[in-house]
Amino acid sequence: MKNLLILTERIPFRRILTKNVKVGTNFKTQRCLASLVQKDARKNAEIDFTAEKYTHLQRNPNFSELTQEDISFFQKILPSNCLIIDKQDDLLPYNIDWMRKYRGKSRLVAKPQTTEQVSRLIEYCNGRKLAVVPQGGNTGLVGGGVPVFDEIIISTNNLNKIRSFDPLSGSLVCDSGCILENLDNYLAEQGYVMPLDLGAKGSCQIGGNVATNAGGLRFLRYGSLHGNVLGLEAVLPDGTILDNLATLRKDNTGYDLKQLFIGSEGTLGIVTGVSIQTPRRPKAVNVALVGLSSFENVQDAFIKAKEELSEILSAFEFWDASAVKLIKDHLVQGSRFPLEDNYPFYVLVESSGSNKVHDDEKLLCFLENLLEKDIAKNAIVAQDETQFRTIWSIREGIPEACSKAGSVYKYDVSMPLEFLYKMVEDVRCRFTDAGLYGEDLAVNSITGYGHVGDGNLHLNISAKSYAPEITALIEPWIYEWIEKHKGSISAEHGLGLMKAKYLGFSKSKSMIDMMKKIKQIVDPNGIMNPYKFISD
């Protein structure tokens, strides 16, 4: 309690949070957008083609190549401003992923404005065996949303209308190309909130969120899209419009087919409309930053948070000392860091509720208990929106700080909480044993952070440069480690192209067989997003 008060006075963080502070707002969004806008065509043109970089990938000879006849057909269906054909500079932002790691060779981007247009496009492509990549905001991290070879890109950019919102039930129905942040801003005016929030919210689209089963910052509070999506409209490869755009919370009439599309990464069809359950927007949001001595303490603090904050707990994020070192080295002046002393672990605790006074009392009581029981060494509560943003920006700045430290090997995994940090320690041991880990060695930083509440770890390994001996030390060892500890090789990013061949580490042969059978009946020609996780 003493520590809490002293620090609160020193910073000085006052006790008043503005009512309209945005939940889990972060600054990465703006940076993401800026970097997207600033894309330099010349620089993009220097990125290697995926097909040439990953030589094990072969173009499927069953797929047709685009002809003038095909182009004429597309021109009949879509107005000219909805097509990009053979214009290299214009095609580049669609052929290259956000990480600039993958680059396809597509000659054509189609941007339909209606579901019917999507249907006619896909039906034609299927008949002609022209392969297709659905693309939303192109913010994916595993190369799932860009072509590998010459697949046609069907972009949902022009499907961007809100269809309806019911303030009684909170159900929102919209086109799949609506940008997440726009939807959240629209809902804010109605007193509601989107049940998901991501760093990429300024660019990512709800259709892409659904297709990749995006997790993000509000997952702990509102759960997964499997629970929040009420209905979908999707176009199947044969052009069928699967109309399941219900706004009902309960509907037990047959198999819940929409669930198959949630997380299917565009391999079964294109999501064109989404119906989603939205909760009331919290009136009070608090955030605290806590310093702790061990990962056991992090776990204890999480148990306490579930017990004491319970229904108002909306985020429980952790990171290690290594992350803070990188942030201080590259992003924030040490003196501006909210906690002065260094701790092995840090936790960000956010509460969201309907009554500011009640929430303040619960949060302060929780923090005092942590300090009194010696679970935490130090704690601080944001007192205004600036402080709120400062604390969140530390958490959100970690990926960027890692990138500034060198070339980053990124892993997004989930596993039972007790093993979450052990993985980071084991990776450090492995690189230490190999004599590669240290300030002036090949790998200078191994950082662990993530969503404790969701058992979701982000492991970032910063190296002087990408090197085969480093990769060889990590893979497949890390996937075997995850399999052994009953984890998932992809918690929230999906498989895409990057992890396509590692599916077997997280799913059994019988499950993969069943997935393939489903893929086969829905997309017998395999035109939907080929070469990605479910392709042979």
Q: Which is nearer to a second copy, 240 or 383 (CB)?
A: 240
Copy the structure tokens of residue 478: 């890390």
Q: Which is nearer to a second copy, 18 or 354 (CB)?
A: 354
Using CB under 8 A as the binding rule, whether residue 280 contacts a second copy is answered as yes
Let me know how long the chain is.
536
Using CB under 8 A as the binding rule, whether residue 252 contacts a second copy is answered as yes
Rounded to a whole number of angstroms, the CA Rg of the chain reads 24
At its nearest, how many Å lie between a second copy and the CB of residue 80? 32
**Stretch in the footprint of a second copy (CB under 8 A) among 304-312, 327-335, 338-346, 374-382:** 304-312
Q: Which is nearer to a second copy, 80 or 508 (CB)?
A: 508
Q: Which is nearer to a second copy, 258 or 389 (CB)?
A: 258
Of 183, 157, 214, residue with least CA distance to 36: 157
- E strands, 185-312, in order: 229-235, 241-244, 270-277, 284-292
Q: Which is nearer to a second copy, 212 or 390 (CB)?
A: 212
- Residue whose tokens read 């006052």: 14
Q: Which is nearer to a second copy, 111 or 519 (CB)?
A: 519
Of 468, 428, 470, residue with least CA distance to 448: 428
Looking at 255, 333, 336, 536, which residue binds a second copy (CB under 8 A)?
255
**Stretch in the footprint of a second copy (CB under 8 A) among 16-24, 48-56, 332-340, 511-519:** 511-519
- E strands, 388-499, in order: 407-414, 443-451, 456-463
At its nearest, how many Å lie between a second copy and the CB of residue 460? 18
**Stretch in the footprint of a second copy (CB under 8 A) among 7-15, 16-24, 346-354, 378-386:** 346-354
Helix (H), strand (E) counts: the chain: 20, 16
Contact (CB, 8 A) for 95 and 159? no
**x-marked contacts with a second copy along 455-494 as a string, rule CB under 8 A:** xx-----------------------------xxxxxxxxx
At its nearest, how many Å lie between a second copy and the CB of residue 306? 5
Contact (CB, 8 A) for 500 and 535? yes
Torsion of CA 318, 321, 327, 330, to 10 degrees: -150
Number of residues engaging a second copy in binding (CB under 8 A)? 95
**x-marked contacts with a second copy along 208-247 as a string, rule CB under 8 A:** ----xx-x---x---xx-xxx-------x---xxxxx-xx
At its nearest, how many Å lie between a second copy and the CB of residue 158? 24
Residue-wise DSSP of 226-261: HHHEEEEEEE-TTS-EEEE----S---SS--THHHH
Residues 38-77 close enough to bind a second copy by CB under 8 A: none
What is the separation of C-alpha 102 from the centre of its chain, rounded to a whole number of angstroms?
18
At its nearest, how many Å lie between a second copy and the CB of residue 503? 6
- Residue whose tokens read 């993000």: 216
Using CB under 8 A as the binding rule, whether residue 495 contacts a second copy is answered as yes
Residues 129-158 close enough to bind a second copy by CB under 8 A: none
460 phi and psi angles, rounded to 5 deg? -115, 120
Buried b / exposed e along 233-247 (16+ C-beta atoms within 10 A): bbbbbebebbebbbb
Separation in Å, CA 458 to CA 138, 202, 218, 415, 465: 21, 22, 16, 11, 20
At its nearest, how many Å lie between a second copy and the CB of residue 79? 28
Using CB under 8 A as the binding rule, whether residue 536 contacts a second copy is answered as no
What is the separation of C-alpha 109 from the centre of its chain, rounded to a whole number of angstroms?
24
At its nearest, how many Å lie between a second copy and the CB of residue 496? 10
**Amino acid at site 382:** A
Q: Which is nearer to a second copy, 262 or 270 (CB)?
A: 262
At its nearest, how many Å lie between a second copy and the CB of residue 301? 11
What is the separation of C-alpha 167 from the centre of its chain, rounded to a whole number of angstroms?
28
Sequence-ordered list of residues with C-beta below 8 angstroms from that of 52, at least 6 positions apart, any chain? none
Using CB under 8 A as the binding rule, whether residue 308 contacts a second copy is answered as yes
At its nearest, how many Å lie between a second copy and the CB of residue 182? 23
3 state SS of 192: strand
- Residue whose tokens read 């693309």: 135
Run of H or E residues at 94 = helix 88-95
Looking at 149, 345, 437, 533, which residue binds a second copy (CB under 8 A)?
533
**x-marked contacts with a second copy along 258-277 as a string, rule CB under 8 A:** -xx-xxx---x---------
Residues 399-438 close enough to bind a second copy by CB under 8 A: 414-418
Using CB under 8 A as the binding rule, whether residue 90 contacts a second copy is answered as no
- Provide the terminal-to-terminal Cα distance of the chain, rounded to the nearest Å: 59
At its nearest, how many Å lie between a second copy and the CB of residue 69? 29
Q: Which is nearer to a second copy, 195 or 202 (CB)?
A: 195
Residues 356-395 close enough to bind a second copy by CB under 8 A: 358, 361-362
Separation in Å, CA 412 to CA 36, 120, 212, 494: 22, 37, 14, 9
Q: Which is nearer to a second copy, 309 or 324 (CB)?
A: 309
